[in-house]
Amino acid sequence: MSLPELLLASLSPATRSQAEQTLTNLSTTQPQFLTSLLGLVLESSQPLQARQAAAVYFKNAIKRRWNAEDNEELPIDPAEKTLLRSRLVPAMISLSSPSDKLLRAQVADAVGLVAAVDFPERWPDLLKVASIVTTQPATANTLLSGSTASNLETVAQAQNLLTSIYLDLTFHDIPPMFEDSVAAFFGAQGPDPDDGFFLRFLRWDPPALKGDPEDPVPTEPMRIKATILELCEMFTLKYNELLEARVPAFVRAVWELIGASGESVREDVHVAQAIKFLSVTAKTGLYTPLFSEDATLQGLAERIIVPSMPLRGLALLSMPHEQYLIVLPLTEHEIDQFEDDPLEYIRRDLSISTEGGSTRRHAASELIRALVSIGLEAKITAIVQGYISLGLQNYAQNPSGNWKSKDTAIFLLTAIASQSFTTQHGVTSTNALVDIIKFFSENVAQDLSADLPSVHPILQVDAIRFLYTFRYQLTKEQLTSVLPLLIRHLASANYVCYTYAAITIERILFMKTGKTPTFNFTDIEPYANNILTALFARMEIGGTPEKVAENEYLMKCAMRVIITSKHTLTATYPAILGRLVEILGIISKNPSNPLFNQYTFESLSALLRFVSLADSSSITQFEAALFGPFTIILQQDIDQFIPYVFQILAQMLETHSATLPEPYRALLPLLLTPPVWAQKGNIPALVRLVNAFLLKDVAKMETEGQLKTVIAIVQQRLIPSKLNDQYGFELIQTLVRTIPPSLLSTVYFGAILNALFTRLQTSKTDKFTYSMAHLVFFVICLKGEGLSADFVVSEVEKVQAGIWAQLFKGIILPEVSKTRTRDTKVIAVGLTRLLTESQYMLAPQAAEMWHNAFQALETLISSPKVVSGDVDDDDPDVALTAIDYEEQTAGYQAAFSRLAASQPAQFDAASYTKDAVAYTKQELQNALGRDPRIRSLLTSLPTSAWARSLLLGQAM
């Protein structure tokens, strides 16, 4: 196969695995493979899909292999690196046509990845880009002179790129050459209102570049304007002193720009950015007079509001400055998208779409909030409420014909009522001048309970969204009363309607009062099975793997219902499990949506967790249902799912209290083979599963010689790795807990320590030294036959006499001051046992070490971050209720996704005490009474408040 054919094959489920393996082999054996990939990206004669696949593969290879040492990958040949550095920026510039947008984004990411590693030492030529930007006036003059040259489109593309580079190079800090040339670009304070290239470009609209009005792709002038407005926003926020004198001129230009703009989709980006610039400018509070003067408000009304108000054609309200707002109607494009591309409509509406940016409506809403924030709350609320009333009146005259008026009224109410909000919690503070509950009951509730088509589906979605937005302003009783209506909408024929219903149900169940979930299993029990049945039916109707998995909001809602229901699903879990397994079987054929996959496995894990706690015998049914599909996933090497499978296998294994079932034991040899550990995404889940085997069957593993393999994995695969050393420490902790101390001492611990010392000598990192210190204190905390405070000390001394003092003084003790809150108990208790029980530390030659350790413990315990109480939260399911993946974006990563529901309770090495502070003080007092050496050591610490208190018998 040729390279383009291989890349296309990697996109097909039937050929993906083999194609990806071939590409992996080529990437490490074929000379200048990455250069060939970049060439394919630039080859316009090749299929676009192949070029896009090449661009993604190229970017990901750069990400993994450019800094190969840190990522533990095969390094790129230095000669090819030099070649790529010379070609990357020209390649990015050459991909300047609108059709190359996705390709350019990948190459731009690659430029950033290389620059982060190589600039400036190994890529000084990158600075030439800055000199290109400083010659921008030459390109600008060509365009602004009115040139009609045949290459005008190309020159405009170059200007757009130069403006984008200007933005990038001034984003983090403004270089001196840019600061010195601000006047040339933004203009200088003076009589000329058009002074400055950027201001002139905001008014630049050459007829030759107007393009087709029906084309949704922005023209080059529109792109340039959007970038300039983004620059203005950024300068207002970060370098206001450089732009301050020109802000009024830019505000006027923006008003004119919005007033002259139409409603076409291609104008959305720069119009939304223009409104955003006004919002940011107002919100700074530095330009309040600019927005509150009558003349300014009149200009807003005449040039912006009248042409773009959603209620145009109606008589304007006769109140001062009523055309104050920039609020746009729901466009025909948005209505078409509602019907033809509902999932993208939802994502844009929730403002989590990965492309497209903010809509005009969202930008206008931000402007309203900005004006409220600068003391215009009463005035703007009165104006908006007038328009809301006008919209509702217009709707009442002809509900079927004027539904857009009500949609706009609801939007305006939401905008003026919402003073602050978050994606996770909805509106968090509201405008005291707006009665949200009254508006809902009088104008929204009826649409929630109406049947289609008696109400337009967008109005029904508006009603559901209203609940979603203001859920924290409604009482639990009010939300409970509307829950049946939301459940009914899960059966709606409208895609947006049933999806928004699922989103709103999920967010309601996610609500918390303090740290406690607002809704518990008692609240959801009457509805849970109906919700799950409706959701599964919606997913399954898709048929193909891609369609079943396209709507992650449905599976997220199912996950939340299962988590909230807990054990109350025990009676009906077989049906729920069967539906989840059926969906898993479908999506396994072609995993396409990472979020849907995560929620599917999280749902399975949560169902297993709660049902098995209520009915331990249910584990056999879970195993019967899951072993089949899990075997297929492992046999077919579906790498996106394998980490999830390992975690749920570990969860099921831990559920067994008796003899380890044979199917698990048969799996163990496979888990200990090198190829399984070669996949980086598998390692955390593999460690989790091997830990479960150790806890259940360590004796058998020793008999079978498998413990030696586990130790070898720790020595060779985990501890030497900067990426995975933390999982090595996790595995070592379990080994220490499960292997009998005599066997550990005589056979295994020395090998573990040698691996740790080798890493300390060859590639020590801050993370590693902290983990090393934590491990020492963890082992010291453990109690049991053969374990003592001197166990670790004696084992270290076996490696080399005298090495404990070097390790303790040079590595372990300095890390105590860096103790993380969650580790405080282990480190405090471990240090206490070392001070009070270690014969080595109480020996005369260790007096200085003891003094330093005592003072470190005193500082640690006196710190406000020390926690008392159990290691775990009072709610063992607190991590589950926090599951929220809204911030994740689409696109697979070679990374591990932890299943919160599958996680076992954290092991407490010091479970014999609940309060680390009380334990430490009591043990020191007890030790003082039984060992005269401690009194002598304390006497040598006259500056220590603790030492004085102990010696005087006072409370510490």
Most confident of 347-351, 353-357, 427-431, 656-660: 427-431
Residue 509: band (very low, low, confident or very high) from pLDDT cuts 50, 70, 90: very high
Residue 81: band (very low, low, confident or very high) from pLDDT cuts 50, 70, 90: very high
Tokens for 504, please give them: 């709103």
CA distance 219 to 201: 13
Whether residue 535 contacts residue 499, with contact meaning beta carbons closer than 8 Å, is answered with no
Closest CA to 794 of 840, 825, 836: 840
1 pLDDT higher than 90: no
> pLDDT by residue (tens digit) across 787-817?
999 999 999 999 999 999 999 999 999 999 9
> pLDDT by residue (tens digit) across 412-465?
899 889 888 777 778 889 999 999 999 999 999 999 999 888 899 999 999 999
- What is the total residue count of the chain? 956
The per-residue pLDDT for 357 is 46
The per-residue pLDDT for 15 is 87
| φ and ψ at residue 204, rounded to 5 degrees | -85, 120
Most confident of 167-171, 329-333, 873-877: 167-171
The per-residue pLDDT for 371 is 83
The per-residue pLDDT for 311 is 37
The upper half-sphere exposure of residue 598, i.e. CA atoms within 13 Å in the direction of its Cβ, equals: 23
> What residues have CB less than 8 Å from 426, skipping those under 6 apart?
468, 469, 470, 471, 472, 507
CA distance 371 to 280: 10
> pLDDT by residue (tens digit) across 531-557?
999 999 999 999 999 999 999 999 999
Name residue 787's beta-bridge partners: 784
The per-residue pLDDT for 272 is 86
Q: For 828-841, b where at least 16 C-beta lie within 10 A, e where not — what string? A: bbbbbbbbbbbebb
Tokens for 701, please give them: 């593993």
Residue 876: band (very low, low, confident or very high) from pLDDT cuts 50, 70, 90: low
Question: H or E element: which one contains 663?
Answer: helix 662-671
Average pLDDT over residues 616-630: 96
**Among residues of the chain, what percentage have pLDDT more than 70?**
88
Which amino acid, 840?
A: Y
Residue 689: band (very low, low, confident or very high) from pLDDT cuts 50, 70, 90: very high
The per-residue pLDDT for 22 is 92
What's the gap between Cα 316 and its chain centre?
45
Residue 926: band (very low, low, confident or very high) from pLDDT cuts 50, 70, 90: very high
Residue 672: band (very low, low, confident or very high) from pLDDT cuts 50, 70, 90: very high
890 pLDDT higher than 80: no
Choice between 503 and 115, residue whose per-residue pLDDT is larger: 503
Choice between 690 and 268, residue whose per-residue pLDDT is larger: 690
127 pLDDT higher than 80: no
Residue 99: band (very low, low, confident or very high) from pLDDT cuts 50, 70, 90: confident
CA distance 704 to 853: 42
CA distance 397 to 400: 9
Choice between 101 and 47, residue whose per-residue pLDDT is larger: 47
Choice between 197 and 334, residue whose per-residue pLDDT is larger: 197
Where is average pLDDT lowest: 59-63, 107-111, 152-156, 687-691? Answer: 152-156
The per-residue pLDDT for 893 is 36
> pLDDT by residue (tens digit) across 694-717?
999 999 999 999 999 999 999 999
Torsion angle, CA of 569/574/577/582, rounded to 10 degrees? -150
Choice between 174 and 605, residue whose per-residue pLDDT is larger: 605
The per-residue pLDDT for 310 is 47
Instruction: Give pTM, 2 decimals.
Output: 0.86
240 pLDDT higher than 80: yes
Strands 418-422 and 426-430: antiparallel
Whether residue 684 contacts residue 895, with contact meaning beta carbons closer than 8 Å, is answered with no
CA distance 248 to 240: 13
Give the CA angle between residues 312, 314, 319 to the nearest 5°. 100
Name residue 429's beta-bridge partners: 420
Average pLDDT over residues 741-745: 95
Tokens for 299, please give them: 């200009």
Whether residue 564 contacts residue 519, with contact meaning beta carbons closer than 8 Å, is answered with yes
Name residue 421's beta-bridge partners: 427
The per-residue pLDDT for 120 is 81
Average pLDDT over residues 375-397: 87
Residue 193: band (very low, low, confident or very high) from pLDDT cuts 50, 70, 90: low
Where is average pLDDT lowest: 154-158, 461-465, 606-610, 890-894? Answer: 890-894
The per-residue pLDDT for 281 is 93
Average pLDDT over residues 666-673: 94
Most confident of 55-69, 648-662, 744-758, 850-864: 744-758
Range 49-52 contact pairs with CB under 8 angstroms and sequence separation of 24 or more: 49/7, 49/8, 49/11, 50/4, 50/5, 50/7, 50/8, 51/103, 52/102, 52/103, 52/106
The sign of the torsion formed by the CA atoms of 299, 301, 306, 307 equals positive
Average pLDDT over residues 656-664: 84
Question: H or E element: which one contains 428?
Answer: strand 426-430
Average pLDDT over residues 871-877: 49
The per-residue pLDDT for 134 is 47
The per-residue pLDDT for 335 is 86
Q: Mean pLDDT in the chain?
A: 87
Residue 149: band (very low, low, confident or very high) from pLDDT cuts 50, 70, 90: low
CA distance 173 to 777: 44
633 pLDDT higher than 70: yes
569 pLDDT higher than 70: yes
314 pLDDT higher than 50: no
859 pLDDT higher than 80: yes
Choice between 884 and 67, residue whose per-residue pLDDT is larger: 67
Question: H or E element: which one contains 590?
Answer: none
